[in-house]
Structures are given as structure tokens and as C-alpha cells.
Structure 1
Amino acid sequence: MVIKLVKHHMKFVLERELIIKKSGVDCFQFTILAKSKRGGPVKPGNAKFSVKIIHENGTEIPQENIDIKNLKEAKYRVTYKVSEHGDYTIHCLLNNRDIKGSPWVQQC
């Protein structure tokens, strides 16, 4: 999935996968690649990237259950734990605004 930021001329390539821990807690992961309109990695700047995840019943996953790791070269890995099954709305935010293609619904 490619998510394009119109205002900032960036593209976000999203890779998703499920990780099942031995503890029985489901962890999900996705990677975002921030690229310039020319296809190169976006240079670090003042932009603030964040993620907000909300269960279908309206409860938000606590930020301590969401890990955003900067993998360098404009690549971020987001891992989050869910405590119950259902549909989750995932918001990928840049400077507190949804990027194009966000939010989306992930069934967990």
C-alpha cells in the first residue's frame, strides 16, 4: 500500500504483518517508508510522526502499547499490542494530521 502526502510531497509505503508472541498476546506491526516525490528517503526534520489506534468499541490503545522505532533512512516500524479481538482504526499522523490513506481498519 502506498500512502502519499499531498502537502509534503512524501510517499509512505506500508508493510503489515502479524506477530504472535508466546505469551498469547497478539502484536501487529507495520513499516512506513517516507520517500520524497523523487523517490529518495526524506531527510530528518521537524515533522512529528505518531500513531493512534482505536478499537471498534471506542477504546484507544494506550501509547505504551504502541512502539514507533526509527529505523533510519526515513523508515519507521510500528508495533502494537491488542488486548481483545475486533476491528481497529489506525491513524498514521504527521504533525497531528492524518496522512492520505489514513485511517484504515485492521482486523485483529
Structure 2
Amino acid sequence: MEKVINLLSEIEEKADEIMKRANEEKLDLHKKLEEDSKQLDNSIAADKSEKISALQAQINKELAEEQQALINDCNKQLEQMESQYQNNHDALVDKIFLSLIQS
């Protein structure tokens, strides 16, 4: 009978040890999961930040190109107007003068 009690006692001690190890492993796994989750969050944040920076740079480049195209277009129109004025100056003055006289 004493052997049975000793065996039951040993079984209970081993069961307690197994439960303690299981709880320790559970805590370790939980800590690892939290660390992995933090690393994943940081990785996602860094990736998102890089993509946002790349998109911002692309947008800035496109805006600068569009702005330069508009400036070039305006300069071209001004040159054409200046050329037209230089070529037709006398005719324009005559038209304005006749318009004023007839009014």
C-alpha cells in the first residue's frame, strides 16, 4: 500500500513539474509572440513609410515637371504674342487709331 502511495506521490510531483514546465513554455511562447508581433508592426510601419516617401517623391517630381511644362507653355505664348506684336505693330496701331476716330 505504501508503494502505491509513493507511486501516486511521485506521479503527482511529476504532473506538477510537467504543469510548471508547460506554464513556463506558455509564458515563453507568449513573450515570443509579442516580440514577433512588435517586429512585424515595426516592419510594416517601416515599409509603409518607405512607400509613402517614394510616392511623395514621385508626386513632387510629377508636379515639378508639370509646373515646368506650364512655365514653358506660358513663355512660348508670350514669345508668340511678342512676335505678333512686333510683326503687326503698325497695323494694330492703325486699327486702334481708326477705331478711336470712328467712335
TM-score by length of 1: 0.12
Structure that is richer in strand per residue: 1
